[in-house]
Chains A and B, each alone.
Chain A
Amino acid sequence: MSQTSIALTDEGVPAPSSRRSVGRGRLLMAAGLVLPVALAVFWEWAAASGLFQMRLMPPPSRVWDTMAALAARGELTHHVLATLYRVFAGFAIGALAGTLIGAFAGSSEAVRRLIDPSLQALRAVPSIAWVPLFILWLGIFETSKIALIAVGVFFPVYLGVGGSIANIDRKLIEVGQVFRLSRLALARRVMLPAVLPDWIISLRSGLGLGFMFVVAAEFMGASEGLGYLLIDGQQMGKPDQIIGAIVAFALLGKACDTLLLIVTRPLLAWQDTARGTL
């Protein structure tokens, strides 16, 4: 790689290093778009030239038109909001429970021995297996869906928090003890900051699972939501709607993950990792 070619602007004068890194950041971001755009262009061309069957594999332009029509009627917003509401409600419940129970299990050997084996066994149950039970118990409406999502979010958060607390560096705890911190102060000033990075990582994977589970939840009979658009598209033979809903899931999931990253970034300014690029 030639260092000078990057450091020079169009006029051939050396660019300040900050501008260089901003430019490079944009370039890296644009790099992520190369693959999807290339795929879309190829697809569009393949559909137009008859290589793909238009009916089953609608080109991006058709998908766009369908989604634009849905959006114009206000339906898209409606479905997106329904899905988002379920994910957030389930995420809030699952993350809270996972954090609390994980904290108990991580800080007490006795509690861990008592509950961890059962929770690990439950974790091995495929998510869909819960569906009939939740429907029987909680009905077919929102409650059962949110419960399913909460279960999905719970496990990664529980595991992340529990493991992280159990692994806190005893040497740092001793620093707190030497300065005679109370148990509460020790938890607040040493243990909490120590587990924060792992906690945020576990929240991210919990959120990811939340988006997976919302689809399962919406498959079990929903009249709104992006998952409903998928089922509806299948039953009505509208592949453009299915693909549109999949793309919407991708964008929504990515956007929520990025939001979580941005919100939590100030908490982790001290960290010495390449986290900023993830």
Chain B
Amino acid sequence: MLRIETISKTYSDGTHALEDVSLRVGPGEILAIVGGSGCGKTTLLRLIAGLDSATQGRILVDDETISAPHPAVGIVFQEPRLLPWLRVEDNIGFGIADLPATERRDRIAHALDRVGLAGYAKRWPRELSGGQQQRVAIARAFVARPAVLLLDEPFSALDAFTRASLHEHLLRLWEETKPTIVMVTHDVDEAVTLADRVVVMRPRPGRVFETTWVQLERPRDKLALGFEKAKRRVLGALDRSLRPETKPPEGVATEAAASY
């Protein structure tokens, strides 16, 4: 589905943002990327979205090399980035202007319903709270039915309650079309709640440090032992990644068993 092959990225000012990153993400998989700030997470998502180009390596979606924004790839940014001059419904429909009007209307109405904003179609973005705006941004990405959806710390500006409800909205939408999701987060709890696999990255230059599989049934019970165990593994990896460089356990994949 999504193949990232030996990607390196050096910005024009010499910043070495990514070094030899390779990842494969299967269809319908939810992959979470965690890591300290500055380890190239945003850079990686921008490369996948085709908003920037890699210095080395290549990225493939369904065997097509990404060189510019690809119709199968959608992205939700850290900020909602709604267009303030469009009403909520038109913001959601922004990327599907080419569809027939009825199809467009149906998708918008459905997405609004799914993110719990059914009565808000005619509102202006400024009339919404931060969490509501981010839900509109998620709906805007979903109505275009991307095969790969990228999320860059989409909930980091929100409080814990809002975040938990957005997790539900996100999973509900994901259930429908099962896109491949790559999500950056700095919240280990969020990563373990949503993802099938959690990748911890390490900075300067950014690279993959450790991978943890989370093989727990959805919806996940945060109080279950397996959840706690997976979380501790990720936290451990994160902790090691932030320590001064020793010999990293390169390519080691640990597993949180589902048997609990």
Interface SS, A side: helix
Digitize B169-188: 1 where CB-to-A-CB distance is under 8 Å, 0 elsewhere.
00000000000000000000
A189 to B85, CA, bound (A): 10
**Residue contact A180 to B71, C-beta cutoff 8 Å:** yes
**Residue contact B83 to A193, C-beta cutoff 8 Å:** yes
Interface SS, B side: loop
Please name all residues of chain B whose beta carbon is closer than 8 Å to the beta carbon of A272 when the two chains form the complex.
84, 124, 126
Digitize A255-278: 1 where CB-to-B-CB distance is under 8 Å, 0 elsewhere.
000000000000000111000000
Q: Is B138 an interface residue (CB 8 A)?
A: no
B95: which of A171, A174, A179 is its contact (CB, 8 Å)? A179
**Residue contact A171 to B77, C-beta cutoff 8 Å:** yes
Q: Is B74 an interface residue (CB 8 A)?
A: yes
Please name all residues of chain A whose beta carbon is closer than 8 Å to the beta carbon of B95 when the two chains form the complex.
178-179
In the complex formed, the residue of A with least CB distance to B68 is A180
**Given known A-B contacts A172-B83, A196-B85, A270-B126, A177 and B51 have beta carbons under 8 A apart:** yes
**Residue contact A270 to B51, C-beta cutoff 8 Å:** no
A202 to B61, CA, bound (A): 46
Q: Is B81 an interface residue (CB 8 A)?
A: yes
B51: which of A178, A190, A194 is its contact (CB, 8 Å)? A178
**Given known A-B contacts A171-B79, A178-B51, A178-B75, A193 and B94 have beta carbons under 8 A apart:** no
Distance in Å from the Cβ of B141 to the closest Cβ of chain A?
9
B81: which of A175, A270, A271 is its contact (CB, 8 Å)? A175
Digitize A188-229: 1 where CB-to-B-CB distance is under 8 Å, 0 elsewhere.
011001101000000000000000000000000000000000
Distance in Å from the Cβ of B155 to the closest Cβ of chain A?
18
**Given known A-B contacts A175-B94, A190-B83, A180 and B69 have beta carbons under 8 A apart:** yes
Q: Is B151 an interface residue (CB 8 A)?
A: no
Digitize B30-72: 1 where CB-to-A-CB distance is under 8 Å, 0 elsewhere.
0000000000000000000101000000000000000011010
- Further pairs besides A189-B94, A270-B84, A272-B84: 16, Cβ < 8 Å: A171-B77, A171-B81, A172-B83, A174-B81, A178-B69, A178-B74, A179-B69, A179-B95, A180-B68, A190-B83, A193-B85, A194-B85, A270-B85, A270-B87, A270-B125, A271-B84
Mark A residues whose CB is within 8 Å of B.
171-172, 174-175, 177-180, 189-190, 193-194, 196, 270-272
A-B contact pairs, 26 of them (CB 8 A): A171-B77, A171-B79, A171-B81, A172-B83, A174-B81, A175-B83, A175-B94, A178-B49, A178-B51, A178-B74, A178-B75, A178-B95, A179-B94, A179-B95, A180-B68, A180-B69, A180-B71, A189-B97, A190-B83, A270-B85, A270-B86, A270-B124, A270-B125, A270-B126, A272-B84, A272-B126
In order of increasing CB-CB distance, the 8 nearest A-B pairs are A179-B95, A272-B126, A193-B85, A270-B85, A270-B124, A180-B69, A178-B69, A175-B81
